[in-house]
Structure 1
Amino acid sequence: MEATQYSIVEALLQDMLAEVLSRVGRDSYQQLFLTKTVCKDFWEVSFDPLVFKRLCLDRFPIVHFGNPKLTALFNLCFFYGNPNMIYRRGLTCYFNSDYTKLGLRLLKQASEMKVLEAVYVYGLIMFAKHEIQFRDVGLEILIEAFPPLPDLVVAV
């Protein structure tokens, strides 16, 4: 039996397709799902970790109730390090009294990955803590992410 060998061009093609599909999914998950139906190669590459890492989750509900396909999708996105999914998981864990520390750690991680909502929520949570050192950290995070607007000069 002969072993199947892939050429550099075929390997490069797979990487390029993964990059293209990840960018499509980053902008719109609907377009990604439509693109997957175009051909077999697109279907296969759509399961690349890069696609799950960049997938846009804005239109999905943060809390979903029992949809196994949605749960599987969210788990894959979290597993492959999708920043928005890390933020969502951190948010739900933080406000669940049993997982507050894990939630705060995930919110911090998403904040460091520059998820704007995570920066805001993590900064506010840190600012709302009673200890002064946490307040300073929270204020620093918020000022860095949302610098104050310069004074406007109105010419008369």
Structure 2
Amino acid sequence: MDWRSSKNKDNDVVISNTNKTCPVCRSPSKFITPSSRFTPKDSPERALCVEGYKATLAKIPCRYFTKSPRSERFCPYGKDCFYQHQNEDGTPHVFTLGADEMMERHKSRLIASRALNSTALFDLMSTHRWFENPYFDRYDSDEDYAFHGSDISESVDWMPELFF
């Protein structure tokens, strides 16, 4: 799908929006229908292929809808989603907004959750007492202590000699 990406394209191509079109016929491309054969743009065979593809997708449960809370069902594509949105009672869930509006809501939710997560992490880090020992200060460093040699046995008087 590199041909749909706007990376490494001339500004003229990006501005003219030709990078979101089919490379063969240059018609706008909102989705891709997999097919082993090329069919002309306005042919009935092409329409049949697209409708068959959409019908197949409509039988697959939407992962966004399934993962959303039951009290507040959500899909970032809204009424433009090709996948199945079905309530627990078997009735189809109908969204009133399309992909443009729902994507904006989805982006704002992601931004809000990331801000909340980073704030919660910052609060946890700032209130956590990292050194549980009362003899250590928060700003202690190793340079404050004089270690004589690499063997701790020099400073331990109560251990029997047999362990060292």
Query: TM-score by structure 1 length?
Result: 0.23
Higher relative contact order (CA 8 A, sep 6+): 1
Which one has a larger percent helix, Structure 1 or Structure 2?
1
Max Rg structure: 2
